[in-house]
Amino acid sequence: MIGLTKAFGALYLSSLLMQLGSTLLMTYLALRLNAGGGAETWSGALMAANALGMVLGGKVGHYLIERVGHIRSYVTCAGGIAAAVLAHEFSSALPFWLLLRALVGVAMMCQFMVLESWLNDQARTERRGSVLALYMVASYVGMMLGQLALSINGDLGVHALLGVAIAFALSLVPVALTRCPHPTPILAAPVDVKLFLRRIPQSLVTLVVSGMMTGGFYGLASIYASQQGLDTVEIGQFMALVIGAGLLAQLPLGWLSDRLPRASLIRAVAVLLMLVTLPLGFCQSPSFNTLMLFGAGIGFLQFCLYPLGVALANDNIEPQLRVSLASVLLVAFGVGAGIGPLLAGSLMEHFGASSLYFFFAACAALLVVFVGQGKVTGEHLQEDAPLHHPSTPNGLASSSLVAVVESVGANAQSSQCDRVINETEIATALNCP
């Protein structure tokens, strides 16, 4: 691990700083909008704009990297994000903020395409899992620090935006100075969406629902906590705890996922999610300790859905199709991440803050209905299906590519002798019909 940290430390540090800035920005904007009397629907719309920007960013990133290279693309996007972040102070008009969030989403997608393809390209097949695992740890640490950064000042003034801009500005320094060799581009893979709809409908449902819940959490959980009477410091602690619980869940989940039917695990997680979310839905004024306890449980379970969906999909897709699968899973997650905050925000606006957790329970109920081992035919089960369990996506601040890249990379040797997955394949694959 020390050797990997030394080899890829610059990229890990950049990821940590980016996640710190991104999660701080998401929570800050939600709380500032809530403090100004903005409707929850607008908070959901900001999250949806970010998700839309990230989906579109795949094409933009491919264009940039192809023409100016990885480092220049990364530096350009980091500068653009810093400018967009500070531009929030020019106007509080919500349409203007929507535009800025979409631009930040596009630029961050480009940045993560650079980082994740770089790591995947330079990692040997037998070490790829460890390389990406450390990357996920760095990302999660950055997300938790971003939430805890709210407690440094405790207000919603311009200092938070300055902190976000500084984090993104500093994130370009390690990449600009790195000595890591550049990734080698290869040809893109075709996409047959209808094939995946027939083969892996349960996985796609899981990814869409996971996106809905993840988008709802990052966009609206801080507003829910604020309306329960938590101050800015306590909100940061609450959000950090939920994210940390999601990270801790990956170790036992990976062990279980490699030993039990994954569709059954998805349904079991969904049932538990319903049981954990409903108390917060019915309890109108939970105590701080109650909120932290149930929040940790929800985070522990919620962030299990994405990796289980990815693993189930790879179980039933041939190795030569897994690059195309990566883009389809990303789009499914992005669609959910765009829809979820809009629906949840509208519910909160009309029925109160606690309806956020009724929304989560409804999402879990969808999985209970549509996903189950009895619905898995096994007709296309692959003998070389990946045993390595992919990590959960590191929030909407990430491109969500790493979990897909990791699962694909674990099978790279079986599909081609030393095949490398990079941003050219994934970004081009987003041009699916």
Q: pTM (2 decimals)?
A: 0.77
Chain mean pLDDT for the chain:
79
pLDDT of residue 422: 44
Burial class (CB in 10 A: 0-12, 13-18, 19+), 238: buried
- pLDDT band for position 127 (50/70/90)? low
Burial class (CB in 10 A: 0-12, 13-18, 19+), 91: exposed
Position of tokens 């400018």?
83
Side chain identity at residue 363, one-letter code: C
Task: Provide, rounded to the nearest whole percent, the portion of the chain with pLDDT above 90.
Answer: 31
- pLDDT band for position 269 (50/70/90)? very high
Tell me the two tokens of residue 362. 């409804």
- pLDDT band for position 433 (50/70/90)? very low
pLDDT of residue 188: 54
Rounded CA separation 75/198 (Å): 41
Distances 389 to 60, 116, 295, 298, 394 between C-alpha atoms, Å: 30, 17, 24, 20, 15
Residue 413 reports pLDDT greater than 50: no
pLDDT digits (tens, 9 = 90+) for 85-122: 999 999 888 899 999 999 999 999 888 878 877 776 66
The mean pLDDT of 342-360, rounded to a whole number, is 92
Provide long-range contacts, Cβ within 8 A and 24+ apart, for 299-302: 299/241, 299/242, 299/243, 299/244, 299/245, 299/246, 299/249, 300/245, 300/246, 300/248, 300/249, 301/249, 301/269, 301/272, 301/273, 301/276, 302/210, 302/213, 302/214, 302/217, 302/246, 302/273, 302/360
Side chain identity at residue 229, one-letter code: G
Task: Mention every residue, 6+ apart, whose C-beta is less than 8 A from residue 89.
Answer: 158, 161
pLDDT of residue 415: 42
pLDDT of residue 285: 87
Higher pLDDT, 63 or 392: 63
pLDDT digits (tens, 9 = 90+) for 329-350: 878 888 898 899 999 999 998 8
pLDDT digits (tens, 9 = 90+) for 153-212: 666 778 889 999 999 999 989 888 877 776 665 445 566 778 888 888 888 999 999 999
CATH of domain 2-429: 1.20.1250.20
Instruction: List the single range of 60-74, 86-100, 366-380, 381-395 with lowest mean pLDDT.
Output: 381-395
Nearest-CA neighbor of 213 among 403, 364, 56? 364
Side chain identity at residue 407, one-letter code: S
Residue 289 reports pLDDT greater than 80: yes
Rounded CA separation 91/21 (Å): 20
Task: Mention every residue, 6+ apart, whose C-beta is less than 8 A from residue 202.
Answer: 263, 266, 312, 370, 371, 372, 375, 376
Task: Provide, rounded to the nearest whole percent, the portion of the chain with pLDDT above 70.
Answer: 75
pLDDT of residue 375: 55
Consecutive H or E run containing 122: helix 94-122
Side chain identity at residue 179, one-letter code: R
Residue 414 reports pLDDT greater than 50: no
Residue 274 reports pLDDT greater than 70: yes
pLDDT of residue 400: 45
Nearest-CA neighbor of 309 among 250, 262, 273, 268? 262
